Amino acid sequence: MVWQRKDLLGLEELSREEIELILSTAESFKEVSTRDIKKVPALRGKTVVNLFYEPSTRTRVSFEVAAKRLSADVINIATETSSVKKGETLIDTGKNIQALKADIIVMRHNYSGAAAMLAKHLEISVVNAGDGWHEHPTQALLDIFTLKEKMGKIAGINVSIVGDIAHSRVARSNIWGLTKLGAKVTVCAPEILIPPAIEEMGVVVTSDIQEALREADAVNVLRMQFERDSSNAFPQQIEYFKNFGLTCERLEKAKKNIIVMHPGPINRGIEMSSEIADGSKSVILEQVTNGIAVRMAVLFLVAQAKDRKDENIN
């Protein structure tokens, strides 16, 4: 299996083998972060630009740490303080970064498909760090990596995703990745937050949290993005916790070894109680650690593919 893509845009377009290659490469990279000197020279001399059109701390920092542990140089561009404010288009911004001889753009954008469009117009690599409601591939990869580490396998396990499925790129990427690897996925949300035709992605749909938990080996709880609610369609926070919040009482009826995941940041007392977030079933902080290994693997693989392409042309 050879990784051929210069970009990582989403999990929808990846084969099972490609996803497994990222996961096995990440396994090897995980060890690097346990060393006294947490750095290898694999991307020395490469420049990674973090281009974030939406606020993000954890994803940006995780990519920055990953790139630095590979010895790449990292430049962060927050668009609020850049020429984007003066009306520069996304493609112009991208071409300027390319002209600076950067090697990889890691982009977060509020429009679905923005990463794919940029990748099409540029020769350098583009890694999607979240585009609108579309995909957030590295988050799903780190979720799947964590699941695999805990469960030993992905094929045949039951994973329930609880929360705002309609507006969640994390849910979408997780569904693509998990179903390709043979997991059984259930999504659970208030009816208004379940997108139409979601069953066609090969998932079971329910609005009953207890039913979503009954067979689950793992539950991935999404953040309720109340700040995005412009239509007042969201339930009230207290009402949401009452009907969907993860509590000790609800987890008692689930499988004994169920693991609890969350992409962060957690709204304590809304998506889950503090006892659960800090409890023994929670792997939330391990997800953060694994995110670095997964992002190192992605940066390494796209940089290699790009270099090989350039070699073949010359």
Partner 1 sequence: MKEKAKVLDKESLNRAITRIAHEILEKNKGAESLCLVGIRNRGVYLAQRLAQSIKAIENKEINVGALDITLYRDDLTLISAQPIVHKTEISFDIADTNLVLVDDVLYTGRTIRAALDALIDFGRPKVIQLAVLIDRGHRELPIRADFVGKNIPTAQGETVEVRLEEVDAKDEVVIMEK
Q: Which is nearer to partner 1, 80 or 310 (CB)?
A: 310
Q: Residue 15, interface with partner 1 (CB under 8 A)? A: no
Contact region for partner 1 (CB under 8 A) — 20-28, 161-169, 173-181, 235-243?
20-28
Helix (H) / strand (E) element for 22: namely helix 16-30
Options 59, 93, 146, 186, the catalytic residue: 59
Question: SS3 of 102, please?
Answer: coil
- Among 60, 136, 169, 262, the active-site one is 136
Q: Are 103 and 303 in contact (CB under 8 A)?
A: yes
* Whether 86 is catalytic: yes
What is the C-alpha separation between 10 and 135, in angstroms, rounded?
A: 6
* DSSP codes, 217-246: SEEEEPPP-GGG--SS-SPPHHHHHHHH-B
The answer for residues whose C-beta is within 8 angstroms of residue 89's C-beta and 6 or more apart is none
Q: Interface residues for partner 1 in 94-153 (CB under 8 A)? A: none
Is residue 93 annotated as part of the catalytic site, yes or no? no
Residues 6+ apart with CB under 8 A from 167: 133, 193, 225, 228
Instruction: State which of residues 13, 33, 42, 289 lies at the interface with partner 1 (CB under 8 A).
Output: 42
> Which of 13, 20, 40, 255 is the binder for partner 1 (CB under 8 A)?
40
Query: What's the min distance (Å) between Cβ of 100 and partner 1?
Result: 21
- Tell me whether residue 59 is one of the annotated catalytic residues: yes
Cis peptide before 265 (omega within 30 of 0): yes
Among residues 17, 80, 123, 307, which is the contact residue for partner 1, using CB under 8 A?
307
Residue 104 and residue 6: Cα distance in Å, rounded?
Answer: 9
Q: What are phi and psi of 284, to 5 degrees?
A: -60, -40
99 Cβ contact partners less than 8 Å away, ≥ 6 residues apart: none
Q: How far is the CB of 216 from partner 1 (least distance, A)?
A: 30
User: Which of residues 12, 27, 54, 73 is near partner 1 by CB under 8 A?
Assistant: 27
| Piece in contact with partner 1 (CB under 8 A), picked from 36-44, 50-58, 72-80, 211-219 | 36-44
Region binding partner 1 by CB under 8 A among candidate stretches 8-16, 27-35, 164-172, 274-282:
27-35
Q: Which helix (H) or strand (E) holds 285?
A: helix 284-313
Q: Which is nearer to partner 1, 208 or 310 (CB)?
A: 310
Q: How far is the CB of 245 from partner 1 (least distance, A)?
A: 39
Please tell me which residue in 58, 120, 153, 228 is annotated as part of the active site.
58
Dmax of the chain from CA atoms? 63
Residues that bind partner 1 (CB under 8 A): 1-3, 21, 25, 27-29, 31-32, 35-37, 39-42, 70, 297, 300, 304, 307-308, 310-311
Which residues are the active-site residues? 58-59, 86, 108, 136
